[in-house]
């Protein structure tokens, strides 16, 4: 990027106060990947910024880039969609913030990934329109991992490459979150750490990966999917990132207090 003024569409990933009157922001932009910036005087200039710099909002971002600074200077922001439907309910809002935090954690400044921007925007919109929050989180995880080339395969053994045609040990495949794929019979006995995965859940995950985001609402998973895919994706993502996510632990806490949450 050359020094100068730019305009792009962006989703706000994070937003926090800095000093007396400024705000530090993280964006997932349509044209420039992840961008970090500072909105000087944002807390004083209510006219320019108020209500437009909240996480999980979609905005038209006007900024100035200078290669000498790690942060771009945010000159203006015009709200495109505040996704107000997400903000009245703590559980739904936390789920939306999880999508945002996950996107931020898996992307780096400088990588232009318009598909990631579109994916995040679509899923915030699905959630805003009353989609099932937890299921949307799972679908989003699969789509994001797939876009970034991290989605595990479910055909060959990740350890030795052999085709895994039938489940190992009763009804279940064995999935290694550390290696990121299925294990064959031989690799399971050699002591690989693995979690159980039914053929149905493996097929369902593949279907989610293949299907366009706007068609995903047609998929209705059974209880087994939630039971198996949840822990599998959670562990896999944690290992990939090398750390947990704040919003994910908050969602887990809310679920432990109220098992009916989400």
The least CB distance from residue 153 to Zn ion, in Å, is 13
The least CB distance from residue 192 to Zn ion, in Å, is 8
By beta-carbon proximity to Zn ion, the closer residue of 54 and 156 is: 156
> What tokens does 90 get?
């703590």
List, as one string, the DSSP characters of 87-98: SS-HHHHHHHHH
The least CB distance from residue 175 to Zn ion, in Å, is 12
By beta-carbon proximity to Zn ion, the closer residue of 102 and 184 is: 184
By beta-carbon proximity to Zn ion, the closer residue of 151 and 187 is: 187
The least CB distance from residue 172 to Zn ion, in Å, is 16
- Measured CA to CA, the distance from residue 59 to residue 112 in angstroms comes to 18
- Measured CA to CA, the distance from residue 32 to residue 28 in angstroms comes to 8
List, as one string, the DSSP characters of 137-183: HHHHHHHHHHHTT-PPEEEEETTT--B--S-SSTTEEEEETTTTEEE
List, as one string, the DSSP characters of 68-92: T-SSEEEEEEEEEE--GGGSS-HHH
The least CB distance from residue 188 to Zn ion, in Å, is 8
Contact between 81 and 57 under an 8 Å Cβ cutoff? The reply is yes
**Footprint of Zn ion (CB under 5 A):** 157, 159-160, 162, 184, 187
Please tell me whether residue 17 adopts helix, strand or coil conformation.
Answer: strand
By beta-carbon proximity to Zn ion, the closer residue of 90 and 160 is: 160
By beta-carbon proximity to Zn ion, the closer residue of 31 and 162 is: 162
């Amino acid at each position: 990027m050359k020094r100068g003024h730019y305009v792009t569409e962006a989703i706000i990933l994070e937003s926090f106060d800095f000093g007396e009157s400024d705000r530090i922001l993280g964006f997932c932009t349509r044209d420039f990947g992840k961008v970090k910036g500072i909105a000087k005087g944002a807390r004083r200039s209510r006219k320019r910024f108020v209500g437009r710099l909240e996480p999980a909002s979609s905005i038209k971002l006007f900024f100035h880039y200078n290669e000498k600074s790690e942060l771009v200077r945010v000159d203006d922001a015009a709200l495109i969609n505040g996704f107000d439907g997400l903000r009245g309910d703590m559980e739904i809002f936390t789920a939306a913030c999880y999508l945002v935090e996950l996107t931020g954690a898996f992307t780096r400044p400088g990588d232009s990934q318009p598909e990631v921007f579109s994916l995040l925007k679509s899923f915030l919109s699905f959630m805003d329109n009353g989609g099932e929050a937890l299921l949307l989180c799972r679908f989003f995880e699969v789509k994001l991992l797939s876009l970034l080339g991290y989605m595990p395969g479910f055909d060959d053994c990740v350890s030795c490459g052999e085709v895994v045609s039938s489940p190992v040990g009763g009804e279940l495949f064995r999935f290694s979150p550390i290696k990121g794929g299925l294990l064959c019979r031989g690799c399971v006995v050699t002591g690989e750490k693995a979690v159980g995965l039914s053929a149905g859940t493996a097929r369902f995950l593949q279907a989610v990966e293949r299907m366009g985001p706007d068609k995903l609402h047609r998929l209705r998973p059974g209880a087994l999917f939630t039971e198996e895919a949840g822990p599998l994706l959670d562990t896999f993502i944690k290992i990939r990132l090398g750390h947990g996510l704040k919003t994910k632990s908050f969602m887990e806490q809310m679920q432990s207090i109220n098992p009916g949450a989400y």
